[in-house]
Amino acid sequence: MPVERLQKILSNAGVASRRSAEAMIVAGRVAVNGKTVDTLGARADPDRDEITLDGTPVLRERYRYVALNKPAGVLSTTRDDRGRPTVVSLVEATGATLHPVGRLDLESEGLIVLTNDGTLTELLTHPRHEVRKEYLVAIDQPLGKRGRERLVRGVRHEGERLKADAVQVVSPSGSPEQPDPRWLLVALHGGRKREIRRMLSVVGRRVVTLRRIRIGPLALGMLASGESRDLSPEEVEALYEAAKRAATRPRGSMSPAPDMKREHPHPIAIDGPAASGKSTLARALVERFGYVLLDTGLMYRAVALAALRGEVPASDAATCAAIAREGGLALAVADRETRILLAGEDVTDLLRSPEVEASVSAYAAVAEVRRELVAQQRLFAAQRPCVLVGRDIGSVVLPKAPVKFYLHASEAVRARRRGEQAAEWGERQSASEASRDISGRDVTDSTRAASPLVVPEGAIEIDSGELDADAMIARAIAVIEEQTT
Ligand code: CDP
């Protein structure tokens, strides 16, 4: 491609109109090969030059970004002289020469990103930009509270200070009833060589399994061992943002991240029938307490969407369960809410379509589908302070949740709300259609054999038809603050 004016390259890349691109250049936001260009008239070669806006490359199509679930025994390198398998050899080649971003030890497994985008690699691996990473770690003997606290305070090993941001006991199966002190969720920013293995050796424990399950905003999700998937543009953007945010964090602020401090009780369970106000309440609570929201209904909706696309009826339970297990369903947190990905495609905005609305309850009644999704929901809840919304959260998913709400409202109130929401989501729906959808789903949800909708034991019931939204939220916040330690 010929050399072109910078503003033309920016506008061709869809970044902005030429006029606004000029303003961005003059404002000093554009760089070519790492050098800021703030005068008009500069030219560049879009094929060769690295052009960035606010530090992020604008010509993304050149790059490929892949998330891989690295199996143990595979090297985190591009090539191996001895011909052993490497992370790169596990990813389907498309012409791009990929390299791993950072590394995972030979024996470690889990999430690793591969790309040919050098800017992102540098951002994510530069010591100043370390984003928070989370690891699921199995150790040979239980580690008590004091041992875990030592890791968070920091230990010395061979002249280096090693330190976790947070260490929690979790349950490998995601079951909240049986957290197992031999399974830890370890969060850290640093990436010193074999840091987790070494810090655990200081407290006398040996690591049996070490699996990275999160890099900043990117979760391992449902990728099977050895499997990879291309990241969506939103996920790439989120990685850039996270690395840049990490860079602006002052050094030494490695104390536990605020979202893992246990000041307020969590997780919080919210259940209730369709349009009973669950999302309104949940959004207010995540804002207030800094938690993350998982709307589990979206996960059932995503299974319904994938099944509809594959023409799989709900009566084919085995295939529906396979969709839930292996269909590439993954969760990505953005702005405190959870987006739903299907094989890398962000489908969140497609999940309120009338087709999904009409069929979701049938798929949600399949016990095998529920088993899969419940396991994922528990794992999600074990990893961060969160609010889970659904039909069976307080009763089945998180029966031990310290705070549970159950929302009621009459069917007429809920049908009116749903009609209003449908308009917001761009769907046209009459009040009678909304009422039919809602009552149809209510019946299926409350009468199904698998985890029917019930008021969970210990739940605080709120009639959202009687209270306006602010009053409902204030009431819930008061309940949570009462329990805050
Ligand atoms: O937003 P709305 O309350 O209408 O529905 P949703 O929460 O998106 O849930 C859609 C459907 O998924 C429900 O009607 C249930 O059939 C099912 N679901 C479930 O069975 N269990 C959950 N934890 C969440 C949703």
54 is catalytic: no
Placement of tokens 């928070």 in the chain: 132
User: Ligand 1 mean position to 48 CA, how many Å?
Assistant: 49
User: Ligand 1 mean position to 218 CA, how many Å?
Assistant: 25
101, 57 in Cβ contact below 8 A?
no
Q: Which architecture, in CATH terms, is 4-58?
A: Roll (3.10)
| pLDDT value of position 368 | 93
Annotated domain spans of the chain = 4-58, 65-248, 263-482
Q: What is the pLDDT of residues 173-203, one digit of tens each?
A: 656 667 788 899 999 987 778 899 999 999 9
Per-residue DSSP letter, 93: P
Q: Cα separations (Å) of 428 from 279, 296, 356?
A: 20, 24, 15
Q: What is the pLDDT of residues 116-148, one digit of tens each?
A: 887 888 888 877 667 889 999 999 999 998 999
| pLDDT value of position 398 | 95
Out of 45, 54, 105, 165, which one is annotated catalytic?
Answer: 105
Ligand 1: which atom is nearest the Cα of residue 279?
A: 1
Structural class in CATH, domain 263-482: alpha beta
Would you say residue 263 has pLDDT above 80? no
Ligand 1 proximity of 274 Cβ (cutoff 6 Å): yes
| pLDDT value of position 410 | 92
216, 133 in Cβ contact below 8 A?
yes
| pLDDT value of position 174 | 58
| pLDDT value of position 244 | 80
Would you say residue 112 has pLDDT above 90? yes
Q: What is the pLDDT of residues 199-257, one digit of tens each?
A: 999 999 999 999 999 999 999 988 899 999 999 888 998 898 888 877 665 433 333 33
Ligand 1 proximity of 390 Cβ (cutoff 6 Å): yes
- The residue to mutate among 279, 347, 361, 427, having the most atoms of ligand 1 within 8 angstroms of its beta carbon, is 361
User: Ligand 1 mean position to 58 CA, how many Å?
Assistant: 39
Distance CA 321, CA 479 (A): 37
Note the CATH number of domain 65-248: 3.30.2350.10
| pLDDT value of position 307 | 97
Average pLDDT, the chain: 87
| pLDDT value of position 177 | 63
Would you say residue 258 has pLDDT above 50? no
Residue of 302, 348, 346 lying closest to 325 (CA atoms): 302
| pLDDT value of position 250 | 46
